[in-house]
Chain A
Amino acid sequence: MARLWRFFRRFLRHKKQLIGGFLCIPLAQLADIAITVKIGGALDRLRAGSPTDFLAGIFWIILGLSAFKGVFRYLQRWWIVAVSRYVENELKQELFDKLVSLPLAFHARSRSGDVVSRVTSDVENIRMFLGPGVMYTLGAVVMVPASIALLCTLNAPLALTMILPLVLMGFGMKFFTPHLHRWSEAVQESIAEISSRAQENFSGIRVVKGYGLAAQQCARFDEASERNRQNQVNLGRSRGLTHALTHAANDLTFVTILVLGGWAMIDRSLPAGDLFKFIDLTFKVFWPIIALGWIAGMYPRAYASAGRIDELLAEQPLFSDPHDALRLSSPRGALTLRGLSYTYAGAAKPAVSGVSVDVPAGSVLGIVGPTGSGKSTLVLCLGRLLEPQGVLELDGIDVRRLALSDLRACLGYVPQDSFLFSERYRDNIAFGSDTELSDARIQELVELACMKDEVAHFPKGLETLVGERGVTLSGGQRQRTCIARALARDPRVLILDDALSAVDTETEAQLLANLRRAGEGRTVIVAAHRLSSVARAERILVLGKDGRVEAQGTHAELLERPGWYRETWQRQQAQKELSVL
């Protein structure tokens, strides 16, 4: 319970609405009971043979009480459920902020589906338990004792016996719930089976058709479908049992009232109007009690969810800034790497191993190598997205002595997956800058990234949405947009992680020229598959499969030596020739 208590306290912070809502609950419930009392009283007066003119008054009283009850029911729901939504949003925001602050290592090891479900369904489980859960619990807590107390004043033995069936139902539920859980899990599993059978068939449809397997596949699918039907039928049986049990409790309560109430009437110890009160209040108490059962069923889920949320909130960033962090006022952009290595958690071998190189401010460094040689890893280490071993200096200062924000402020980064947001095109470019950008500046960036003509053809120009709901950009367009975004912050060091692969060679040449022209004195790091991207770099690092530097030098120097670089260059040239045939 302690685990959920913390979330409950967060809920209680919204004092005003909750106090209001909590006050409404007894008012509404008491009005509801009063209606029953009024009707019962009227019946007694009728039997006593009093004149009927009081009936009009009773009618208006009932309407008035009902309106009164309605207003408080409305307010109670409106306030309490709304608070549960506020708390939901607060939690989601807190989780979100946590997530964006966590290091790449965390994101690399966690499945995004799992993380998303913590922010969505786990938060929802807690909200349901805190909001509607608390509201219904309080409702039942007021309604049940108040009704029973009232009925006790009329006929205590009857009122107390009435509770018996409810208690029996409680025990019965305890017995049936495990069955419900078991079968609903079985149903989930068999649905998953159907889904994976279908998935497998549809993805392997060429083999299915090629080998004429349709009949066999149908038979297997039918099997899974039948298994699911069986489980569903069994689940239906368990549901039927709980359904019957709940109603049985209700029916038995009525039996009790008929027996003891009828007997008491014969005994003349219970007036007819009071018997009516028993009947009507049983109708009214029944649903709050059902709700209690429902909430009890929610508890284990909410508890588990609270644990999963706590776990995420307890994640810590890998490193924090030193207290005596040095401030960089005007960085130049010179990088020094000494024995830089990085090993992914759980990996046997380092992805990058012992890389040493000097990158003078304003120079271009190319990083090439076969797939899996650690190009991206190395580039990520430069922005401390991954925390490498060895020495990394910016302008001669160890980056660990700098504030992380200062280091990143002077970096522009173009990711390999050319990630863009589903926002307006201009927002995607402006995302790169710490300050507001003028239209003129955005136009300039678009031009630098060789996107001017294409953007002009977008339905709404710069205002066009990117993604499913707007324009779908080609790989090359995405890459160029990412470059514009990186240039928007006018970085001292620009990092391109295989960011030109989908751009045709002509545009690539133009882009590289633009980058050179616009970035006087800017350091550029280009990791690439296509060697033409790095051919004009001052220095090229060739990484090997083991993440070590296999060779380095200028393009001309590397071409002179036999090895991966020369072979790859020749192959790529041949490919280029072929493509123009």
Chain B
Amino acid sequence: MSSTDLDPEEDDLVSSKAWDNAILLRLARYAKPHARLFYASFGVLAMLFMLDMLGPWIWRHALDGPVHAAVSARERDPAADIGTFVRQFWYWVGGYLLLVALSVVFRYHEVAQLNRTGQTVIADLRSRLFRHMQSLDLVFFDRRPTGALVTRVTSDVENLNEMFTSGLVVLLFDFVKIVGVLAFLYWLNWRLALVVTAGTPFLIGVSLVFRGGARRAHRAVRARLSRLNGYLQEVLQGIRVVQVFRREKAVSARFAQHLDGYLAANLKTIFLFALFFPVIDFVVSAIQGTTLWSGGLSIAGAQLSYGEFVQFWFYLALLVAPIRELGERYNILQSAFASAERIFDILDTRPTLEPEREKTSPPGFSTLPLRGHVRFEHVSFSYTEGTEVLHDLSFEIRPGETVAVVGATGAGKSTLVNLLLRFYEPSSGHITIDGHDLTELDPARLRRAVGLVLQEDFLFAGTVKENLILERESVTEESLEEALAASRADELVARLPGGLAHPVAERGATFSTGERQLLAIARALAGDPRIVVLDEATASVDSNTEAQIESATRKLLEGRSALVIAHRLSTVRRATRILVLHRGKLREQGTHAQLLAQDGIYARLHRLQFAESAG
């Protein structure tokens, strides 16, 4: 099939790599701690293989032994006593039954054990992957769509299960089987075995060639299907335009074109599969026919017994089955390689910040009460090379002061928060707390020392209480109670069915923005931090919640060093100092009254942003 009719980028939906030793070796390292499970899997497969080989052997001995003897005896003398032969025959049958019973047990374990092995390895790998991602900086998350990251820990990891089970273990064993059966055939009857050996490369070749074609054809089908579905989604999204412009017929015709392309790709796949099975069957028949021919000669020449022929026939079936599956396993491996590559890509990403480990200095940073003296010294920052978001910013927050930052959207306000919490590193300049440069501090400890309230604050699935405590040892029942009372969030909690035990839906979807901010303030208060970072919500909230938030904010800022991205007039008015950011530069600073008197940017901003709340 030609792939010229598809775009190149669609053509590499699947990694073209068929085999990659480096990836395999690395996967083997992740599998190593679970070596026992793998040994068990191999054990089960080996037992099963032995049982599979034993069955035909029993057939031969039953047929060539008692059955043949009985038949010959009766041929000589129709009244001959064949009691011993019959008894022998029953022994063989008993053996066969035992074998079948064992096979049933091992067949169960074949699937169950392999599956347990694969799932255990990938569960481990998944945890490692997630843990590693937790150590990465914000840059990593900001630059990648959340959906793609979720895919890494779900379907990509899931693909590796196939790699470990049906891919590696079974594939390895299939080779053992093919070689083992062939060897056994030689031992049984080398003439017949030669016939089969001559045919095997054809079988393997046909299987691989066809599967290669099938993979390309499948890829084309997937590409066509994704276009078809993409178009459908697009039309549903633009249904208004389609209907107002009366283009129903036109889009229908376009959809038909997509369907045609999809059908053409599908027909290729059908063609390949329709051809594959008969061709394989034909090769198998050729081998069987030759076996019969050559075996027949041997039987006539008394070099081969009937029982041996039957045994041989059973083994032939054992040999063909794994070869038939070979191509399919190969395809599984290939798609798993692509997933493994994507996963390793993440595991190889290193945090750009210093690793989050214990810092030697300053001694006892987390135990000593912080004073909370924050200084920004000539700080500049750019997310991407060349576009500066903050330029040469210097200011300080002395212990207990509230510094409010105002500015239009895109002025660089939230970047300040990102820098102070060391989510990002300044491109130049320094930020210090109590005289210590941020780079000397362990980021995790730094962050635990800061009370953070984000604009669109995030609640996790769980209970309200869990969300308020967030696993901090410093938060006790009492401090939580106090925080709730101080922030007046207790009124909100009292309204919830179950109170603190009220379940929070994913992302706190059942709470309004205002309620979420109120809970976030209570959460910060409960930790009694020395430094507060508050990004006020802009969304309008109902007047009751508004009043609660306002008083909660006051409580939170009282007596603490605070950096506030302010949207509330009341907050700005009470601030010790207001910084006016405009296009990444600190343009004005002073108190509310001073700045209004200056009649500069702040005065305009004030008219603009706070006009409504000013009434």
Decide if B248 touches A243 in the complex (CB within 8 Å): no
* Given A70-B279, A107-B236, A578-B608: A59 and B293 interface contact (C-beta under 8 Å): yes
User: Which of B271, B274, B299, B421 has the most chain A CB atoms closer than 10 A to its own CB?
Assistant: B274
Which listed residue (A62, A99, A489) contacts B285, Cβ 8 A? A62
- What A residues does B111 contact at CB under 8 A? 236, 239-240, 243-244
Q: How far is the CB of A74 from chain B (nearest CB, A)?
A: 5
User: Chain B contacts of A244 at CB under 8 A?
Assistant: 104-105, 107-108, 111
Give, as a whole number of angstroms, the nearest-CB distance from B556 to chain A: 15
Interface string of A198-224 (1 = CB under 8 A from B): 111111111111111111111001100
- Report yes or no: B604 in contact with A567, Cβ–Cβ below 8 A: no
- Select B297's contact among A52, A96, A104, A214, beta carbons within 8 Å: A52
Q: Is the CB of A203 within 8 A of B146?
A: yes
Docked complex: A523-581 residues within 8 A CB-CB of B: 567, 571, 574-575, 577-579, 581
- Chain B residues, Cβ within 8 Å of A56: 293
Q: Is the CB of B447 within 8 A of A212?
A: yes
Residue contact A86 to B263, C-beta cutoff 8 Å: yes
Q: How far is the CA of A419 from the CA of B248 in the complex (A)?
A: 16
Known A-B contacts A71-B278, A202-B150, A212-B447; the reply to A469 vs B288 at CB < 8 A is: no
Interface residues of B in 276-293 (CB under 8 A from A): 277-279, 281-282, 285-286, 288-290, 292-293
A280 to chain B, nearest CB (A): 7
Taking CB atoms and an 8 Å cut-off, the chain B residues in 241-277 that contact chain A are 241-248, 250-252, 255-256, 259, 262-263, 266-267, 270-271, 273-275, 277
With A266-B70, A385-B240: A211-B472 Cβ-Cβ less than 8 Å: yes
Contacting residue for A577 out of B7, B472, B604, CB 8 A = B604
Neighbouring A residues of B423 by C-beta, 8 Å: 206, 209
Enumerate chain A residues within 8 angstroms of B314, measured Cβ to Cβ.
279
Could you say which of A3-11, A143-151, A252-260, A354-362 contacts chain B? A252-260
Set of chain B residues within 8 Å of A222, measured between Cβ atoms = 127, 130
- Name the residue on B nearest A265 (C-beta): B67
Interchain CB contact (< 8 A) of A385 among B243, B274, B457, B611: B243
Which residues of chain B (41-56) have a CB below 8 Å from chain A?
55
> Which residues of chain A are near B243, meaning CB under 8 Å?
100, 104, 383, 385, 408
Range, interface on chain A: 35 or more
Are B256 and A93 touching (Cβ within 8 A)? yes
Q: Flag the segment in A115-123, A294-302, A339-347 that touches B.
A: A115-123
Residues of A within 8 A of B296 (CB): 42-43, 46, 52, 55, 58
> Which residue of A65, A119, A200 is within 8 Å of B461 (Cβ)?
A200
Q: A120-B229, A228-B123, A247-B107 are in contact. Are A255 and B292 (CB under 8 A)?
A: no
Taking a contact as CB atoms under 8 Å apart, the answer to whether A81 and B270 are in contact is: yes
A283 in contact (CB, < 8 A): yes
The answer to whether B194 has its CB under 8 Å from any CB of chain A is no
User: Most chain-A CB neighbours within 10 Å: which of B130, B506, B601?
Assistant: B130
**Cβ-defined partner of A240 (8 Å) among B107, B236, B292, B458:** B107
Inter-chain contact B278/A69, CB cutoff 8 Å: yes
Query: A101 in the interface, Cβ–Cβ < 8 Å?
Result: yes
Is the CB of B559 closer than 8 A to any CB of chain A?
no
Report chain B residues within 8 Å CB of A243. Answer: 107-108, 110-111
A574 contact set on B, CB distance < 8 A: 604, 607-608
Q: Is the CB of A81 within 8 A of B127?
A: no
Say if the beta carbon of B86 comes within 8 Å of chain A: yes
CB distance from B28 to the nearest CB of A (A): 20
Q: How far is the CB of B388 from chain A (nearest CB, A)?
A: 17
User: Contacts of B471 on A, CB cut-off 8 Å?
Assistant: 213, 215-216
Query: Given A100-B251, A207-B458, A228-B123, are A409 and B236 neighbors across the interface (CB < 8 Å)?
Result: no
Scoring B residues 601 to 615 as 1 if CB is less than 8 Å from chain A, else 0, what string do you get? Answer: 100110110010000
Cβ contacts under 8 Å, B71 to chain A: 265-266, 268
CA distance A529 to B436 in the complex (A): 48
The answer to whether B108 and A469 have CB atoms under 8 Å apart is no
0/1 interface trace, chain B 91-108, chain A, CB 8 Å (1 if under): 011001100100111011
Which residues in A have their C-beta under 8 angstroms from that of B347? Answer: none
A329 within 8 A of B: no
A143: min CB distance to chain B, Å: 14
Residue-wise interface mask of B (14-53) relative to A, using a CB-CB cutoff of 8 A (1 in contact, 0 not): 0000000000000000000000000000000000000000
Tell me the complex Cα distance, A62–B246, Å.
Answer: 63
- How far is it, in angstroms, between the C-alpha of A422 and the C-alpha of B239 when the chains are bound? 14
Which chain A residues lie closer than 8 Å to B454 at the CB level? Answer: 206-207, 210
Q: Pick the contact of A81 from B116, B274, B290 — CB < 8 Å?
A: B274
A205 and B141 form a contact (CB under 8 A): yes
Alpha-carbon distance between A555 and B159 when the two chains are bound, in angstroms: 63
CA of A93 to CA of B247, assembled, Å = 15
Closest B residue, CB atoms, query A272: B306
In the bound complex, residues from chain B placing their C-beta under 8 Å from that of A39 are 288, 292
Nearest Cβ in chain A — how far from B337, in angstroms?
Answer: 22
B134: chain A residues at CB < 8 Å are 201, 208, 214, 217-218
Interface string of B454-480 (1 = CB under 8 A from A): 100110110000000011100000000
Main secondary structure of the interface of A (DSSP, over half): helix
Contacts of B2 in A (CB 8 A): none
The chain A residue sitting closest to B421, CB to CB, is A210
Residues of A within 8 Å of B582, CB to CB, are 581
B275/A578 in contact, CB under 8 A: no
Encoded as 1 (CB less than 8 Å from any A CB) or 0, chain B from 306 to 328 comes to 10011001100100000000000
Instruction: Judge if B154 is at the interface, Cβ distance under 8 Å.
Output: yes
* Interface membership of B63, Cβ < 8 A: yes
The interface stretch among A189-197, A303-311, A507-515 is: A189-197
A262 touches B252 (CB 8 A): no
Complex Cα gap A207–B274 (Å): 56
B252 near A96: Cβ-Cβ < 8 Å:
yes
Bitwise interface map of A from 46 to 75 toward B, beta carbon under 8 Å scored 1, else 0: 110100100110111011011101110111
A248 within 8 A of B: yes
B118 to chain A, nearest CB (A): 8
- Among A100, A210, A421, A469, the residue within 8 A (CB) of B447 is A210
A467 nearest in chain B by CB position: B234
What B residues does A43 contact at CB under 8 A? Answer: 296, 299, 306, 309
State in angstroms the CA–CA spacing of A212 and B306 once bound together. Answer: 75
Question: Are B271 and A218 neighbours in the complex by a CB distance under 8 Å?
Answer: no
For the complex formed, measure the closest distance between the CB of B606 and the CB atoms of chain A, giving whole angstroms. Answer: 10
Cβ contact of A218, chosen from B130, B236, B245, B250, cutoff 8 A: B130
CB atoms of B267 and A82 under 8 A apart: yes
The answer to whether A203 touches B458, judged by C-beta atoms less than 8 angstroms apart, is: yes
Assuming the A-B contacts A251-B103, A266-B86, are A200 and B297 also in contact, with contact meaning beta carbons closer than 8 angstroms in the complex? no
Chain B residues closer than 8 Å to A213, beta-carbon distance: 470-471
Contact residues in A for B55 (Cβ distance below 8 Å): 251, 254
Q: Is the CB of B236 within 8 A of A46?
A: no
CB distance B506 to A196 under 8 Å? yes
| Cβ-based interface call for B62 (8 A) | yes
Q: B430 within 8 Å of A by Cβ?
A: no
Residue B419 is within 8 A (CB to CB) of chain A in the complex: no
Given contacts A202-B149, A225-B123, A262-B67, 13 further A-B contacts (CB under 8 A): A59-B293, A71-B278, A73-B281, A97-B248, A100-B252, A115-B236, A210-B447, A233-B112, A243-B110, A279-B310, A574-B604, A574-B607, A577-B604
List 28 A–B pairs whose Cβ atoms lie within 8 Å, in order of A's numbering: A43-B296, A52-B296, A56-B293, A58-B293, A59-B292, A74-B275, A92-B228, A93-B259, A96-B232, A97-B252, A120-B229, A198-B154, A204-B458, A205-B138, A210-B421, A214-B135, A216-B470, A218-B127, A240-B107, A248-B104, A258-B93, A266-B71, A272-B63, A276-B310, A419-B237, A420-B238, A578-B605, A579-B408
